[in-house]
Amino acid sequence: MALAADPVPRRAALASGLGYAALYLWLIGDLDLTGDAAWRWQLGRLEWAHVLQARAPFLYEAVALVQAGRLMWLISPMNLLITALLAGLLAANVHGMLALRRGAATHCRTGRGGATGGALPALLAGSACCAPSILLLLGIPALGAFVGLFAWLIPLSLLLLVLSRGWQRWWGAPRLFGR
């Protein structure tokens, strides 16, 4: 079966991308489970100044609230854009890693270690949203030492994911969509 036509890496990539997007939105506080079950929506100000208003580096204000049962979602267009970029690049990296790993037996250019190594930058880059939470568990002194680095985590993640996907494509990983 051709690598590009194999549906297993695509399904795994889609699942990992959607899972990462949900986890990222939950960790930044845009997605949450509430105690009361209600069905409502509320629209805030749709002015560009409000949409682009940052609460923290790469964390923006919400313009709408949707509550469906216990699930509450604060909709922020800029946070959704960042989430889509990170989740899409992560999914592309997972797809490339799985496709290269499946094809390693017949298209061996690097061996199995090279295909698995292609996922390492994607996995490291995925810590952009989780690193602050882990540092909170380590304690306030560790958090204070690294607080200056938090503003660089999202751009660094995007760069590492793009470089990793480029590396995978150079070694022969198929495109995620199309031929």
Return the pLDDT at 63.
93
86, 157 Cβ separation under 8 angstroms: yes
Question: What does the pLDDT read at residue 78?
Answer: 95
Contact (Cβ atoms closer than 8 angstroms) between residue 122 and residue 161: yes
- Retrieve residue 16's tokens: 């990992």
Query: What token pair was written down for 111?
Result: 């061996």
Closest CA to 175 of 95, 58, 75, 86: 95
64, 59, 54, 118: which is closest to 90 by C-alpha? 118
For the residues 71-87, what does the mean pLDDT come to?
94
Of residues 105 and 123, the one with the higher pLDDT is: 123
Distance CA(133)–CA(153), nearest Å, equals 13
Q: Is the pTM of this model over 0.85?
A: no
CA-to-CA dists, residue 109 to 2, 81, 99, angstroms? 17, 36, 13
- What tokens were used for 32? 């949450």
Per the CB < 8 A criterion, the answer to whether 107 and 7 are in contact is no
Residue 1 has pLDDT above 50, yes or no: no
Tokens 């690193």 identify what position?
131
Residue 3 has pLDDT above 50, yes or no: no
